[in-house]
Structure 1
Amino acid sequence: MQSGPEQQGRTIMLQGTASDVGKSLMTAALCRIFTQDGYSVAPFKSQNMSLNSYVTWDGKEIGRAQGMQADACGILATTDMNPILLKPSGEMRSQVVVHGKPLRDLNAREYRESYLPLAEGIVREALGRLRGSCEIVVLEGAGSPAEINLKDRDIVNMRMAAWAEAPVILVADIDRGGVFASIVGTLELLEQEERDRVCGFVINKFRGDVSLLQPGLDWLERKTGKPVLGVIPYLPDLGLEDEDSLSLGKQLESAPAKPDSASGDVLDIAVVRLPRISNFTDLDPLRFEQDVRLRFVEGPGQWGSPDAVILPGSKNTAEDLIWMKDNGLADRMQAHLGARGWTAGICGGYEMLGARLLDPLHVESESEVIEGFGVFPFEVTFAEEKRTERIEGFAQLTGDKASLPITGYEIHMGVVHDTDGDVSVHRPFRIRNEREGDAADAVREYIPEGAAAPDGRIWGTFVHGILHNDDFRRDWLNDIRESKGLRRLPAALRFQERREQAFDRLAGHVRAHLNLSRIYELLGLREEGT
């Protein structure tokens, strides 16, 4: 244990031969393992590119993966864990979020040439604060360290490892093929001092008999002079969130087996897969409800006859609504709404349910006025300032229902203004900012939020994570079931408990297949029980 403020936490870094090789989950696994072994631990990724974000306790926005990794450590996430977040907002353009607050939109060249030189100081200072507050910092790289065209201004891979004085473990995905070539090729493209920093390899997502792989492992160690620190078997049905929308299909494939929806007892829930879908972790609990078949639709030919439709969040609501109109999905959606089909809109999806989107400052689109689906009598104006808040409150989809507690978070630039109209609307949520009125004697003021049809069949909210509230989610699903003549089911899935169990399962799995003694040697620390 550290003895004084002058001590700096030890560091170790996971880099990959490519994107989506499992770096984020391996980082989460090490975070959980070190925490289980009694060390104070924090994750760190200097620069993240993701539309799947996380709101910290103080209302700041970071990459979802670092929020998840902080949860694995059992600590509150801070922006020091991901000081720079890039949120793609268009072709070759991203919103640059610095320490949780939007800076401005930059294209790739502007970011590389004008901002990266400033970013070095920001990320190094953030890492320094983390190292001063905990015993181990587990760093995650991005993509591959062998991107030749990016190396001279790198702030997330090998230059970051050098600043952090971190040994590097190279992670490769055997499931995609060519694992030995990817490892050797990556090393070949590194400079000698970078190659020297790589202390070993982890081969991830292995399926089969590891003894059949042994000749290849022996060859790899002879060829590179570096050890294979672990071969991690593929772990199905884990249920921890990913940060990349490219993994959406894999998530659905990894969901537990369920009865066929043709049996009539399984709800068919369709999610519109928007091109700029964001915070798709809102949907995670539905993947594990035994009476739900969750599927994504990208065109009218995939629509089918869903029992319910979810319009999810979007980084660019205006452009995604235009996309729906152009490809015919908007017509399907309009017909579904006209038939009072069960519908939930979350954040951007909620905004689409209003009368129109107004973008006078061209925050999201070149179009200043875009007609919405017109279910609810409000307009949305896109502002320059983003609202990012943790919230808590209550939900009551219809006036005759019991009020259910909810928690979640908001990330949006849209501001709702009610308009004159004869459409009856109910405000189903009452929320308050978690940072306000926390004192025991404080007056807790709740404000109405969201919109719902009087019968609760169509509703929308800005609250991300709304479906992570077990009692609310089950009550909504039961209402859909009841409308089909099916019996109501108890709230059997406790999603947060399942998530904690998933962290422990992941840690146990990696611990069993990783040379953890060697990892502790690299850190200069003692392994538990030694």
Structure 2
Amino acid sequence: MARALPLMFQGTHSDAGKSIITTAFCRIFAQAGWKTAPFKSQNMSLNSYVTLDGKEIGRAQGIQAEAAGVVATTDMNPILIKPSRENESQIVLHGKPYGNMKAVAYRNEFFYKGLQVIESSLNKLMNEYDRVVIEGAGSPAEINLNDRELVNMRVARMANAPVILIGDIERGGVFASLVGTLQLLEKEDRKRVIGVIINKFRGDLSLLKPGLDWFEQYTNVPVLGVVPYMPHLHIDAEDSVRLAQLSAQKDETKDIDIAVVQYPRISNFTDIDPFFVEPDCSVRFVARAKDIGKPDVLILPGSKNTIEDLLYIRESGIGSELKRLYEQDDTAIIGICGGYQMLGQCICDPFGVETTIHHLEGLDFLPIDTTLTQDKTTVLSEGTLMFADERFQVQGYEIHMGRSAACEGYIPLIDMGGHVDGCKTEDERIFGTYFHDIFHNDSFRSHLLNEIRRKKGLVPVYDRPSYRMMRERAFDRLADCVKSYVQLDVIEQKMREFQGRV
């Protein structure tokens, strides 16, 4: 069996659109009948994905595997870096915690081990698949870091992959960033760039044409496509860059106001994504107490450092606002993973997993005590959730370094057949769970929102969207769009020429 044909996407900077274009090509190649795998050697992200064997990888690679129609494995993202505090991150190696490291130590001490792991994973994918779509990170022109980088041109050389450079025109200066990146590349690396894609274009293409002609003449690098801005894709975001693009303001045209607390170490905020597709939901992210107002639902999402984010909630006044909402308004308060832990009576960290603070009082809404542990739970989970006199079969995934014990008055949320998860108050206005993706369960989400509508005197909405079906359609929509605006035949030819397989 011949080794896979690789193709790598790199960008002029973070958030240029590498992840989304990689996802598109995973779908495009899969639609063409090629067994396709995504690959990102090293991913820095607080949005995770759990594989079938209970390992943790970057969420983007898990979603790209779904787009390709294959089962995600840790070989697709062998190194995951999860920032946990200032200048320190948890290193996840092949889906399991390797340790916490500062940036300098990671660069100096981990480089050769990381290189070995990356090469092994890449070779495995290259031998098992027809196509491997490789995603870089940041920019390949970070000249201060390139002697020990593990994710851009070093990986392209390792795979002998041609590279397509992506520029984001929405930020402005796209030609300067593309030309500057090309000029800063080493001569041999520059030869790998078979073309560029300009991403997130809005407007009249004829006005861009003189710039495209100039670029090709000046650099002798072809423009392989100009991809338009694609709103409302409903494909999970890779990292917190997207948070800056989300509104903090309520949409007054929507019936249900959902506020999400945006603390400094927020993680797995993709849990909230299904609410964006609901026709009656306004979703806003709030970081200040004064912005909370009177939402119908307030969500405490996951956190990579629960103790520090809990301190932030207290010091910012958000904790006092939560008590006000419960005592004076009819707001539903929901905690997911770290947010669930915060809603309890206390959080203990006897091993210094997160901080040197060994004991911190919780918000005291739920009768649970949490102890942070040195081992991490990463598992796909399912069970029966009881809410508003109804039973719902729910699925999700768990990623947490802690155990929560029941105290007096505990009422479980989810029966998992032999053990339980989560906790709720007797009036069900407050509940928490370790289940990420809990709102991706359409029947439960629909019932939750309709219960809120009933309390507000509004007619229930029964024709709510299926989020999972919408995501599948989004993959096809993305692939169709990219196919319409890039020169696939030229890319295919250049991939084969690069590998000497004309």
TM-score normalised over the length of structure 2 = 0.97
Could you say which residue in structure 1 is the equivalent of 2:272?
Answer: 283
Identity of aligned residues (%): 49
Could you say which residue in structure 1 is the equivalent of 2:402?
Answer: 414
Q: Specify the SS of the correspondent of 1:524.
A: helix
CA distance in 1, matches of 2:276, 2:365: 28
Picking from 70, 74, 79, the partner of 2:74 is 79
Could you say which residue in structure 1 is the equivalent of 2:445?
Answer: 473
> Does the CA-based 8 Å contact 2:60-2:238 persist in structure 1?
yes
Alpha-carbon displacement from aligned partner over 1:210-256 (angstroms, at most 9, x marks no partner)? 11111111110011111000001111111111111121243559x9x
CA distance in 2, matches of 1:369, 1:334: 21
Corresponding position: 1:143 with 2:141: no
Could you say which residue in structure 1 is the equivalent of 2:500?
Answer: none
Could you say which residue in structure 1 is the equivalent of 2:337?
Answer: 347
CA distance in 2, matches of 1:32, 1:377: 46
CA distance in 2, matches of 1:262, 1:138: 42
Q: Specify the SS of the correspondent of 1:89.
A: strand
CA distance in 2, matches of 1:476, 1:88: 33
Corresponding position: 1:246 with 2:241: yes
Could you say which residue in structure 1 is the equivalent of 2:49?
Answer: 54
Picking from 483, 492, 497, the partner of 2:455 is 483
Q: Specify the SS of the correspondent of 2:271.
A: helix
Alpha-carbon displacement from aligned partner over 1:314-368 (angstroms, at most 9, x marks no partner)? 0011100001111111111122233463111100110011100101111112211
CA distance in 1, matches of 2:405, 2:73: 32
Could you say which residue in structure 1 is the equivalent of 2:308?
Answer: 319
> Does the CA-based 8 Å contact 1:15-1:23 persist in structure 2?
yes
Q: Specify the SS of the correspondent of 1:18.
A: coil
Corresponding position: 1:402 with 2:390: yes
Q: Specify the SS of the correspondent of 2:479.
A: helix
> Does the CA-based 8 Å contact 1:309-1:343 persist in structure 2?
yes
Query: Number of paired residues?
Result: 497
CA distance in 1, matches of 2:457, 2:413: 24
Alpha-carbon shift at residue 491 of structure 1 (Å): 4.7
> Does the CA-based 8 Å contact 1:41-1:137 persist in structure 2?
yes
> Does the CA-based 8 Å contact 1:451-1:459 persist in structure 2?
yes
> What amino acid maps onto 2:410 in structure 1?
V
> Does the CA-based 8 Å contact 2:368-2:410 persist in structure 1?
no
Could you say which residue in structure 1 is the equivalent of 2:263?
Answer: 274
Q: Aligned runs of 1:80-479 on 2, under 5 Å?
A: 80-250=75-245, 262=252, 266-339=255-328, 341-398=331-388, 401-419=389-407, 421=408, 424-431=409-416, 445-479=417-451
Alpha-carbon shift at residue 482 of structure 1 (Å): 1.3
CA distance in 2, matches of 1:499, 1:446: 33
Alpha-carbon shift at residue 261 of structure 1 (Å): 5.3
CA distance in 2, matches of 1:427, 1:51: 28
CA distance in 2, matches of 1:283, 1:32: 24
> What amino acid maps onto 1:430 in structure 2?
D
CA distance in 1, matches of 2:459, 2:244: 30
> Does the CA-based 8 Å contact 2:334-2:340 persist in structure 1?
yes
**Which range moved further: 302-311 or 168-177?**
302-311
In structure 2, the gaps of 5 or more residues are: 498-502
Alpha-carbon shift at residue 455 of structure 1 (Å): 2.1
> Which runs of structure 1 show a deviation greater than 6 angstroms over 4 or more consecutive aligned residues?
none
> Does the CA-based 8 Å contact 2:246-2:285 persist in structure 1?
no
Alpha-carbon shift at residue 459 of structure 1 (Å): 0.6
Alpha-carbon shift at residue 291 of structure 1 (Å): 1.0
> What amino acid maps onto 1:181 in structure 2?
A
In structure 1, the gaps of 5 or more residues are: 432-444, 526-530
Picking from 494, 505, 508, the partner of 2:477 is 505
Q: Specify the SS of the correspondent of 1:147.
A: coil
Could you say which residue in structure 2 is the equivalent of 1:14?
Answer: 9
Alpha-carbon shift at residue 523 of structure 1 (Å): 2.3
